[in-house]
Amino acid sequence: MSSVTRLMHEIRRLLTERLSMLFIAITATGAVWFSLNGDGRTASDAYIINAAKNNAFLGAFCFTLLSVIQFHRDYKNNTDAIILSSTDPIQPGYTLRYPFW
């Protein structure tokens, strides 16, 4: 199984979970809410810049929380050893072109 296939499988798995869909909806709703309730001296401050900054913080917080929940699920179900053993620590076929010394 190639890396791209594994990545697509993980993306498909995350998009079918209710919790990740909830965080996507919270982030999208936050973008609309921050745009409608903006305040600033200019229109771009009120409706674009401040809304984008606030929503970026909200999205980063939701993504961090989702990552912690997913990592804890692997730890709780004792599947972290399986995940670590199925990944390649060294990519096959990698050659060092420039020595570090």
Q: What pLDDT, in 10s, does the model give residues 23-77?
A: 989 999 988 888 888 777 787 777 788 888 889 999 999 999 988 888 888 778 7
34 within some domain: yes
Range(s) of the domain holding residue 52? 18-81
Is 6 part of a structural domain of the chain?
no
Q: Whole-model pTM?
A: 0.62
Residue 88 is assigned to a structural domain of this protein: no
φ, ψ for residue 91 (rounded to 5)? -70, 130
Q: How far is CA 25 from the centre of its chain?
A: 14
Distance of CA 43 to CAs 20, 23, 49, Å? 32, 28, 9
In a domain, residue 74? The reply is yes
Any domain includes 66: yes
Predicted confidence band of residue 100 (pLDDT cuts 50, 70, 90): low
- Is residue 94's pLDDT more than 70? no
Number of domains forming the structure of the chain: 1
